[in-house]
Amino acid sequence: MRLRRCLPVVSILLAMAGIPLCATAAQATEGMQLERVVLLYRHGVRTPLPGEIQLDEARGKPWPTWSQPPSELTPHGTTGARLMGVYDRRRLADSGLFPARGCPGKDQLWFWANTDQRTIASAGALAEGFAPGCAIAVGHLPQGSEDPLFHPIEAGATAWNAADAVASIQSATNGPDALTAPHADALTTMATVMGCGRDNDPDWCSPAHWRGSLSLSPDKQHMVLSGPIATTSGTAEAILMAYAEGRSMQDVGWGRTDASRREQLSQLHALLFEIYARPDYMADRVASVMSRRIIDLLQDAKAPRLSVMVGSDNNIVALASVLGLHFKMPGYAKDDPPIGGALGIEVWRERSSNRRQVRVFYQAQSLDQLRRLQAKDGSVEPFTLDLPLDGCTADRHGWCPLENVVSRLRRASARAR
């Protein structure tokens, strides 16, 4: 994996370590033509979800309040998403896929969002950044409904059985306690941030209570997760959102976080996906409809040049799992999808042979970039991580044949039927 951002000092250090970094577009794509791009974005900075915060500060200090209703994209999050759209336009113009300015044809773009306010508004901000003043249509189903593209299990669009899910997840992970065992340091950090460490601490402050389980609900229709993954994942995410929002540090874990601690909180957030999105049984099903849609977008010569889907973190983790990918972006733990970032898939045609290769990558602003939003014109580049696919015969760029990527998506979709 290669993390690419053209900062002189970073480039020198990585070059000394023998890691290729910041090749020019001409060097990276010589003899290649970019044909299509698919971006699966996570929504931008939002207010806490109802029920997301599962723990209270150990001494009863209140959580910070937000001026927007729960679950909504904030104005700060809107700006962050718009800047990503600005960056996408500049990057794709540099690659020759779009002109640098003006309104692209309607058949050249497809923006589709999940049905939450935060995803619809994020998609709108991305579209506005990409083509300012062009009134790009953002498609979505009625707000609050279950879109099978993003929620195939809830929409009944994929075969899913709760008992089979529990059994397969237990087999793949050895259960929640096996997942948390390597991360006692992160749980200790959570306890510190939440104010534990004095007399009369709540029970959950003690390592003796860091035990969890995954079971079948009494009606046998749902999975029930208990223990530290269930209680700390959303709680950690609420703290990270406050930091990304640019709030005072007193509103970010009561002033008890630093960069290292925030990354450990991110680790706790990421553990939830090891239950609900990354195991094969869950990944195949969560990404089932999206896998089929992406196959069409990659193969159809009449598909839009740019297709942007805006969903949530579990959508990204499931698709990454189907493709056999892992990622780690600056400021975040391994496999924790950055706020407002995107998993990208590009189809490039080799001019000499007409063979098509696929580049897979992750792009996102770091937590600090998102917090500061210093460059309102989008001139600060997000970080980009190239993601080679294991097991494929890569070309000289480290990319993968289109047929290989399509077969992976097709197999996952077939397993979910």
Q: What is the CATH number of the domain that holds 102?
A: 3.40.50.1240
Torsion of CA 90, 96, 100, 102, to 10 degrees: -130
Give me the helix-helix angle, 228-244 and 75-94, nearest 10°. Answer: 80
Which string of DSSP letters, residue by residue, matches 223-271? EEEESHHHHHHHHHHHHHHHHHTT--GGGTGGGT--HHHHHHHHHHHHH
Regarding beta strands 109-113 and 138-139, do their DSSP bridges make them parallel or antiparallel, or are they unpaired?
parallel
Please indicate, yes or no, if residue 358 is contained in any of the structural domains.
yes
Please indicate, yes or no, if residue 197 is contained in any of the structural domains.
no
CB 54 within 8 A of CB 212: no
Q: Which pair of structure tokens corresponds to residue 303?
A: 């598909």
Cα angle: 323, vertex 309, 3; to 5 degrees: 55
Please indicate, yes or no, if residue 351 is contained in any of the structural domains.
yes
Q: pLDDT truncated to tens, each residue of the chain (417 aa)?
A: 556 554 433 433 443 343 334 444 444 577 899 999 999 999 999 999 999 999 999 999 999 999 999 999 999 999 999 999 999 999 999 999 999 999 999 999 999 999 999 999 999 999 999 999 999 999 999 998 999 999 999 999 999 999 999 999 999 999 999 999 999 999 999 999 999 998 889 999 999 999 999 999 999 999 999 999 999 999 999 999 999 999 999 999 999 999 999 999 999 999 999 999 999 999 999 999 999 999 999 999 999 999 999 999 999 999 999 999 999 999 999 999 999 999 999 999 998 899 999 999 999 999 999 999 866 665 678 999 999 988 776 666 678 999 999 999 999 899 888
Q: Which pair of structure tokens corresponds to residue 331?
A: 């400021």
Please indicate, yes or no, if residue 206 is contained in any of the structural domains.
no
CB 43 within 8 A of CB 310: yes
Burial class (CB in 10 A: 0-12, 13-18, 19+), 305: middle
pLDDT score recorded for residue 199: 86
pLDDT score recorded for residue 20: 39
Instruction: Read off the DSSP letter of residue 183.
Output: G
CB 317 within 8 A of CB 327: no
For the chain, the domain total comes to 1
CB 339 within 8 A of CB 45: yes
Which value, in Å, is the radius of gyration of the alpha carbons in the chain? 21
| Chain position carrying tokens 């309102």 | 376
Taking the C-alpha atoms of residue 61 and residue 349, their distance in angstroms, rounded to an integer, is: 57
pLDDT score recorded for residue 114: 98
Please indicate, yes or no, if residue 114 is contained in any of the structural domains.
yes
Please indicate, yes or no, if residue 19 is contained in any of the structural domains.
no
pLDDT score recorded for residue 225: 98
Report how far apart, in Å, the C-alpha atoms of 364 and of each of 129, 151, 271 are.
15, 23, 20
pLDDT score recorded for residue 396: 64
Residue 80: domain span: 31-158+278-415
Q: Which pair of structure tokens corresponds to residue 339?
A: 């706020």
pLDDT score recorded for residue 31: 87
Sign of CA dihedral 234, 240, 244, 246: positive
Taking the C-alpha atoms of residue 188 and residue 192, their distance in angstroms, rounded to an integer, is: 6
CB 73 within 8 A of CB 46: yes
User: Does the predicted TM-score (pTM) go above 0.95?
Assistant: no
Report how far apart, in Å, the C-alpha atoms of 191 and of each of 73, 146, 199, 261 are.
28, 36, 13, 11
Regarding beta strands 306-311 and 2-4, do their DSSP bridges make them parallel or antiparallel, or are they unpaired?
unpaired
Using DSSP, state whether 213 is helix, strand or coil.
strand
Q: Write phi, then psi, for 122 (nearest 5 degrees).
A: -65, -45
Please indicate, yes or no, if residue 185 is contained in any of the structural domains.
no
Report how far apart, in Å, the C-alpha atoms of 233 and of each of 53, 171, 225, 264, 414 are.
9, 22, 12, 11, 31
Residue closest to 328 by CA, chosen among 259, 270, 398, 258: 270
Burial class (CB in 10 A: 0-12, 13-18, 19+), 200: exposed
Please indicate, yes or no, if residue 3 is contained in any of the structural domains.
no
